[in-house]
Structures are given as structure tokens and as C-alpha cells.
Structure 1
């Protein structure tokens, strides 16, 4: 198991626009190359996914995962945790949003994964960092155009 990896990026868009993109879990395949398909299984009263199955293709890690999403701190934070998967034993993380000014938002992505096969922690951390960097770059490109 590895510790939480994280990275932060600044996006030239207001917090509500960034939050709207991140909170639309079903739309992740439109902007994130790591997610091939998303099926929302359960939603809260505001229409936000609380449970979803996602087909993940993040380089060396290919799996179908069921994640639970927690919205208690939205719009500044959304967290997710693994409920079920084929290969992954852990996939916990969060997106933290902070308004830097009216037109700029800081997004921090935290991620920690565990695998059912013996992989050195250093390799897992490298994959986490790669996944985070790619996701933040794709989010920024999608929102900024």
C-alpha cells in the first residue's frame, strides 16, 4: 500500500465551472482518457453520483471499479473510495477546489491505490503520480479549451 499522492494545478475558470465538470461523474470519459465508461448506480438528491462503476485504463492499471462518492464538503471537496474492483484493492482519493480569484481555481487531486498483486510501493506511487498529472492536465485542457 502506498501513501496518498497528490498534485495541484491552476485552472483559468471560476470555481463553479470547475466544480460542475468534476461533479458530473458520468461525463468523465468526455475529458479523461483514464475512464472509458461510467455507469452511475446511485445519486443523491442533487443528482450527484454517490456510487458509480467506472472502466479504468490508466496505463499499467486496467480495471472496472465501483466507487462511492462523498459530497459533504462540496463544492470545495469531493472524495471517493473503492467499493469493489477486479485488480485494485484500494482506490481512495479526493478533488479539492479553492477559488484563487473570481476567474481562477486551484484543483488538488489526491489518490492512493492498492493492487491485489505484489508490486513495489515505489512503482505504485509512480503510477499514482502519473495518473494524477494526466487527469489534472486533461481537466485543465477540457475546461480552458
Structure 2
């Protein structure tokens, strides 16, 4: 698997509000600009998505892929792995929420391996751009800005 990239942002909301937005996959196309369509393929007994298919259009990067999710019992993290993708060979990611009482630090870790070769430097730059946009869009959605 490729090297991981990690980025964080502070959101003015408690962890449960942030995790509710992260878990609301049908709403992603409303606030995550590159996500054009989502489909929950499988739900767990707790009602949370276990597998989700995404249709992504981020300009030069277009893909349809399915992720499997693992939700932490404490509600403070969720991780995922690639089940199937057109352009991706592997993807591992995680959101980790750390609260200080009034604000929450959201840490996003991502590792993507594409089916086509890509120089490591360019891949890391792409991952960092994806994470930066995703975190800013998540913050905007949660804070209602």
C-alpha cells in the first residue's frame, strides 16, 4: 500500500454532529463538490453504512468505486478500505475526531494506490489536495457556513 498522507482541521461542533455528517452518505453530493452520486449498498445492524458506492468527478480524476466502512464503537473514528474501483487499486482512509469540549479536531488520513502508475510526489500532492478540500467542505457543512 502507498504511503499515507494526514491532514487536520478544527471544527466548531461536537464530535457527534461531525460524525453524523460523515455518516450521511446520501447527502454527500449536496456538499462534497467532487462527489456526484452515492449509493449505500449495505447497512449494518446499527443502521450505518457498511458499503457505499461513489461516483466521483474531480476534473482529471473520475472514478466509480466502492468503500467498506468500519465505525468505532466510541463514535470518534471511522475507517474504510476499497472494495472495488475503476481507477484505484487500493484506498485506505480514516477520520479521527478529538474533542476539547467546544471544538473538535478532525484528522483525515488517506492512502490511495491508482491502477496506473503515478510518481510518488504527484500522488502525495493529489492526496493532500483531496484531503484539504474534503476537510474544508466538511467544516463548512457542519458549521453551516
TMscore range, shorter length: over 0.9
Structure 1: distance between partners of 2:73 and 2:108: 15
In structure 2, the residue matched to 1:117 is 116
Q: Secondary structure at the match of 2:100?
A: strand
Structure 1: distance between partners of 2:74 and 2:27: 18
In structure 2, the residue matched to 1:89 is 89
Structure 1: distance between partners of 2:67 and 2:26: 12
- TM-fit CA distance, 1:14: 1.2
TM-score, with structure 2 as normaliser:
0.93
Unaligned residue ranges in structure 2 (runs of 5+): none
Give yes or no for contact 1:2–1:124 (8 Å, CA) kept in 2. no
Q: Secondary structure at the match of 1:95?
A: strand
Aligned residues: 144
- TM-fit CA distance, 1:34: 2.2
Please say which of residues 23-32 and 92-101 is displaced more in the overlay: 23-32
1:1-145 matched pairs, under 5 angstroms: 2-101=2-101, 103-145=102-144
C-alpha distance after superposition, 1:5-56 (max 9, x if no partner): 0100000011111111111122221211121100000001121110011012
Across the aligned residues of Structure 1 and Structure 2, the Cα RMSD in angstroms comes to 1.3
Could you list the runs of 4 or more consecutive aligned residues of structure 1 that deviate by over 6 angstroms after TM superposition? none
Q: Secondary structure at the match of 1:3?
A: coil
Structure 2: distance between partners of 1:106 and 1:85: 30
Unaligned residue ranges in structure 1 (runs of 5+): none
Give yes or no for contact 1:95–1:107 (8 Å, CA) kept in 2. yes
